[in-house]
Amino acid sequence: MFDKLVQNNKKIRKKNTFNRRITHLISIIQNYQYIEWKTSKKYYLDLLKKEICLSYNYSIDLVEKFFNIIPMEEIDEFFKSNETPRPLTIRINSIRNGEENFQNNLRNMGIQKIFEEKLLNFAGIIKRKNIRLGKNPEFLAGYFTLQGLSSFFSVIALDPQKGERILEIAAAPGGKATFISQIMENTGICIANDKNKSRLNSLVSTIHRLGIENSIVTNFDGSFFHYKMKGFDRVLLDAPCTGTGIISHDERIKLHKINSAILINTTLQKRLLISAIDSCKINQEKKGYIVYSTCSILIEENESIIQYAVEKRNVKIVKTGLSFGIPGFVKYKNEIFNKKMHFCRRFYPHIHNVDGFFVCKLEKNK
């Protein structure tokens, strides 16, 4: 009933009025033990949730989900951050150009290079707002490509090595698959698979534009990919999800029927992850690795899926190799997860200024 109120709310209330009320309610909840009157804490929590729904146009169910994850002292900043677009970033393509030759052009284009992490040397943040990248000659020639910074993290965790056989099980539009090939310097084989045939043209186009020569594009249902091919050294699954980490890109997510969306997505995520594990090889000489990632911050789509895989297959959670991010949840409500779940990494827009993201690395055992 309250969701209809949110959608049909025609009153124009100033944003700063909402923000003052939200800030005031958070202050009451945080200092509740010092308040003399006897109104229940739950009353103020419910009031705060409804105020956020009206202010930012969310469904009450999704707000409830976020309140179970985000600490009270971060709630205000979290919802504000979902209203602000993330910085636009690119990946510099070392296959098409030597870094030294291209570096001078970056400044002229209004792009600041990042040097924070070894593999993030390939990233740049766009500072100018009037850049038309789609018509930029360097973009068309494949010197760089648009890629969200958070999508770098799963490839860094995968840690591709030269000469390996690597699978990305849901690869379109191709940012991660081409980054894998770039790190491998066009050696080995990278299978870029996607079930959706309509997305393959853009995937193939990206591969050609960036000068990738070690990729093979396939069009199989990822849930059954292990019946088609096996024996990969590493497998990346960036799973379809509710997109609760990318609300700043798509405000329609705010009003999704989140509970039914979770049910649909988690069913698919479990099947895809089991298929990814079964597609990965294991032998005495070399271990196999699987990286699971989503652009969701919901525990149901992340830690719960990893817990399912650990119980169904002989895999263990290992360190991602990422020196930043927040550890995964080891406990949620009445659920106790695998004790190594803290090796997973979570990223939030209000803390890291990137899209909300989750990364977990699994090692396949005999």
Known binder of ligand: residue 261?
Answer: no
Known binder of ligand: residue 194?
Answer: yes
Task: Report the alpha-carbon distance of residue 332 to residue 88 in Å, rounded.
Answer: 33
User: Of all helices (H) and strands (E), which one includes residue 345?
Assistant: strand 345-347
> CB neighbours of 210 closer than 8 A, spacing ≥ 6?
93, 95, 96, 142, 145, 178, 182
Known binder of ligand: residue 61?
Answer: no
Encode 164-190: b = buried (16+ Cβ within 10 Å), e = exposed: bbbbbbbbbbbbbbbbbbbbbeeebbb
Decide if 266 contacts 277 (C-beta within 8 A): no
Known binder of ligand: residue 355?
Answer: no
Known binder of ligand: residue 240?
Answer: no
Known binder of ligand: residue 278?
Answer: no
C-alpha pair distances (Å), 79 with each of 40, 54, 357: 24, 12, 16
Among the listed residues 359, 358, 328, 332, the one whose alpha carbon sits nearest the alpha carbon of residue 341: 328
280 is catalytic: no
Known binder of ligand: residue 157?
Answer: no
Catalytic pick from 53, 190, 280, 295?
A: 295
CB count, 10 Å around CB of 161? 14
Known binder of ligand: residue 170?
Answer: yes
Residue 248 is given by DSSP the state: T
Q: Show binding-site residues for S-adenosyl-L-methionine.
A: 170-176, 194, 221, 238
Q: Which residues are catalytic?
A: 295
